[in-house]
Amino acid sequence: MPPQSNRKANPWPPPTVSRSQLLESGRDDGFRSLVDDMVRFGAVLQTIREKLARHMGVTPPQYSMLMHLARCETGDLATSRLAVALGVTVAFVVTESNKLSALGLIERMRNPKDARSVLLRLTDLGRRKIGDAAPLISQVNDRLFAPLTRDKMRMLAQTNAALLACAEGAIALLNDA
Read off the pLDDT band of 167 (50, 70, 90).
Answer: very high
pLDDT digits (tens, 9 = 90+) for 46-98: 999 999 999 999 999 999 999 999 998 677 899 999 999 999 999 999 999 99
pLDDT digits (tens, 9 = 90+) for 119-158: 999 999 999 999 999 999 999 999 999 999 999 999 999 9
> Can you list the alpha helix ranges (DSSP code H) found in 23-149?
29-56, 60-71, 79-86, 90-102, 124-144
> Cα separation of 38 and 40, whole Å?
5
> Cα separation of 111 and 108, whole Å?
9
The pLDDT value given to residue 3: 52
26: left (phi over 0), alpha (psi -120 to 50) or beta: left
The pLDDT value given to residue 54: 97
Nearest to 156 by CA among 38, 69, 62: 38
